[in-house]
Amino acid sequence: DAGVIQSPRHEVTEMGQEVTLRCKPISGHNSLFWYRQTMMRGLELLIYFNNNVPIDDSGMPEDRFSAKMPNASFSTLKIQPSEPRDSAVYFCASSVGATTEAFFGQGTRLTVV
Amino acid sequence: QKEVEQNSGPLSVPEGAIASLNCTYSDRVSQSFFWYRQYSGKSPELIMSIYSNGDKEDGRFTAQLNKASQYVSLLIRDSQPSDSATYLCAVNMDSNYQLIWGAGTKLIIKP
């Protein structure tokens, strides 16, 4: 298996633009997590899906952020409009069940200028 | 508030020595414990998982769990410069899906 695949690896965008991050979880994994990592705040859970259903989005910073999982092999995290404070590394992770080992994608480094 | 605490370091260890990384957690009923390694600019990589009290060994790595004292540690034997990274402790509390993450300990192995 190729592991969790994220795209793009790097994204530079102007403030106010829409940004869409993509994730393909490991086949057979039914739990998917979106994280954000910054030096100041460390790893923060944004949203958790189980069997394609959003279970908890309490970590989503504000309405500018939205996430979808239309099927078991694809998820998106969208920021609209983007702001400079959204600059961070965004990770997608998947696992078999919510309480077992999670495997991370390579991350998307987002820079909003 | 559920917390996972780690010393931020940096922890400097000479090559070939044992590196000892510690993590404490606040919720006594926590059930799953994980150690991840993160190189600068890379994603967290799972090293060890441990679910019951005692030691679990995998190669040069040993995870130790003490639920009564609410700590979990990671020992790295025969430390190598390639072990230099930030080590993240993650705890699953109350069978809740959400992993609570420590801030990580930066480990430096000096040749």
How far is the alpha carbon of A2 from chain B, nearest alpha carbon, in Å? 14
Shortest CB distance from B101 goes to which of A43, A103, A105?
A: A43
Q: Which residues of B touch A29 (CB under 8 A)?
A: none
As a whole number, the mean pLDDT across chain A is 94
* Residue among B19, B4, B23, B5 nearest B93 (CA): B4
Going A57 to A50 to B90 to B95, the CA torsion angle's sign is: positive
Is the peptide bond preceding residue A81 cis, with omega within 30 degrees of 0?
yes
> In this structure, are residues A37 and A88 in contact, taking their beta carbons and an 8 Å threshold?
yes
Q: Which of A112, A102, A111 is nearest to A34 (CA)?
A: A102
The pLDDT, as a whole number, for residue B38 is 97
CB contact under 8 A, A104 and B43: yes
Kindly report, residue by residue over B34-85, the tens digit of the pLDDT: 999 999 999 999 999 999 999 999 999 999 999 999 999 999 999 999 999 9
Output the CA–CA distances (angstroms, integers) from residue A75 to A40, A41, B42, B65, in the order listed: 26, 24, 21, 35
Query: Exposed e or buried b for every residue in B78-90, given b needs 16+ CB within 10 A?
Result: ebeeebbbbbbbb
- Nearest CB to B43 within list A45, A98, A105: A105
Q: Which residue of B has its CA nearest to A32?
A: B97
Residues in chain A with CB shorter than 8 Å from the CB of B46 are 101-103
The structure tokens listed for A106 are 């390579």
Q: Which of B31, B44, B49 sits opposite A104 (nearest CB)?
A: B44
**CB within 8 Å of B56: residues ≥ 6 apart:** B48, B50, B62, B63, B64, B65
When pLDDT is cut at 50, 70 and 90, the band that residue A25 belongs to is very high
Instruction: For residue range A37-78, list pLDDT tens digits in order.
Output: 999 989 999 999 999 999 889 899 889 999 999 999 999 999
Contacts of A55 in chain B (CB under 8 A): 97
Chain mean pLDDT for chain B: 93
Would you call A42 and B98 a contact, using CB atoms and an 8 Å cutoff? no
pLDDT of B96:
59
Measure in Å the smallest separation between the Cα of B12 and chain A Cα atoms.
21
